């Protein structure tokens, strides 16, 4: 981590102690997650209304359920919002539907678990695919 900080010319721990604390917390939480759930890193593909979507940096594991998909929340959105977005994507996961999605916040050490969507065509991601099929860009 120190070598990467130097290579990327990020602030020193003295210059930005909060950034350093967050980086250390995320690193430790990531190590704990890998130790706890195991699994394989991959970029699984899902199909939502005929649109293939590649999910980046997912961890496939059988914890807490078979075919669990673990995703790291790296944006400012809340875990609940990320889960709502991810749930419909779990239904069309290839080669087999996911058992659940687990979204993790490594800095806070929190997670939220949810089953795949029950009514995919009523979700925001599905509505986006309808617009894509209609040729709309927004």
Contact indicator for 100, 91 with CB cutoff of 8 Å: no
The confidence band for 25, taking pLDDT boundaries of 50, 70 and 90, is: confident
Dihedral of CA 106/126/94/67: which sign? Answer: positive
In tens, the pLDDT along 83-128 reads 999 999 999 998 888 999 999 998 888 899 999 999 999 999 999 9
pTM given for the model: 0.83
Is 133 a residue whose pLDDT tops 70?
A: yes
pLDDT at position 138 is 63
Phi and psi for 46 in degrees, rounded to 5? -125, 160
Query: Helix 79-91 to helix 124-133 angle, to the nearest 10 degrees?
Result: 60
Residues 87, 129: Cα–Cα separation, whole Å: 15
| 103, β-bridge pairs | 71, 112
Q: Where are the domains of the chain?
A: 39-133
């Amino acid at each position: 981590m120190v070598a990467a900080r130097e290579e990327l010319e990020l602030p020193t721990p003295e210059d930005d102690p909060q950034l350093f604390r967050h980086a250390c917390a995320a690193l430790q939480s990531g190590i704990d997650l890998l130790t706890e759930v195991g699994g394989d890193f991959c970029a699984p593909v899902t199909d939502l209304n005929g649109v293939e979507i590649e999910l980046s940096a997912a961890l496939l594991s059988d914890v807490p359920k078979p075919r669990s998909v673990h995703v790291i929340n790296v944006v400012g959105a809340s875990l609940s919002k990320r889960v709502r977005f991810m749930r419909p994507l779990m239904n069309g996961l290839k080669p087999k539907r996911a058992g659940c999605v687990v979204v993790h916040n490594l800095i806070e050490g929190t997670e939220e678990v949810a089953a795949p969507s029950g009514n995919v065509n009523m979700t925001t991601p599905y509505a986006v695919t309808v617009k894509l099929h209609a040729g709309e860009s927004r």
